[in-house]
Structure 1
Amino acid sequence: MTVIDKVAWLEIRNGKILSTRSRGRHKYYFPGGKREAGESDWDALSREIREELSVDLREDSLKLVGVFQAQADHHPEGVQVKMTCYEATFRGILKPANEIEEVVWLSYHDRDKVSPVDQVIFDWLKERKLLG
Structure 2
Amino acid sequence: MKKLHVVAAIIKKDDKILATQRGYGEFKGLWEFPGGKIEKGESKKEALIREIKEELNADIKIDKFALDLEWQYPNFYLYMSCYECSLESDLKLLEHMNGKWLGKDELDSVQWIEADIKVVNYLKENL
TM-score (norm 1): 0.79
Please say if 1:52 is aligned against 2:51.
Answer: no
- Map 1:18-97 → 2, pairs under 5 A: 18-24=18-24, 25-58=28-61, 61-72=62-73, 75-76=74-75, 79-97=76-94
Distance 1:46 1:70, change over 3 A: same
- Report the alpha carbon displacement of residue 46 of structure 1 after superposing the two structures with TM: 0.6
User: Secondary structure of 2:32's partner?
Assistant: coil
Cross-structure match for 1:10: 10
User: Secondary structure of 2:46's partner?
Assistant: helix
* Distance in structure 2 (CA, Å) of the matches to 1:71 and 1:14: 33
Cα root mean square deviation, aligned: 2.0
* Distance in structure 1 (CA, Å) of the matches to 2:4 and 2:77: 6
- State the Cα deviation string for residues 54-99 of structure 1 (Å, max 9, x = none): 11123xx441111012234xx43xx3211101122222112101x2
User: Secondary structure of 1:66's partner?
Assistant: strand
* Distance in structure 2 (CA, Å) of the matches to 1:109 and 1:22: 17
Amino acid at match of 1:43: E
- Report the alpha carbon displacement of residue 13 of structure 1 after superposing the two structures with TM: 4.1
- How many residue pairs get aligned? The number is 121
User: Percent identity at matched positions?
Assistant: 34
User: Which 5+ residue runs of structure 2 have no aligned equivalent?
Assistant: none
* Distance in structure 2 (CA, Å) of the matches to 1:67 and 1:94: 25
- Report the alpha carbon displacement of residue 27 of structure 1 after superposing the two structures with TM: 0.3
User: Which 5+ residue runs of structure 1 have no aligned equivalent?
Assistant: none
Cross-structure match for 2:100: 104
- Report the alpha carbon displacement of residue 127 of structure 1 after superposing the two structures with TM: 2.4
Distance 1:86 1:95, change over 3 A: same
Higher strand share: 2
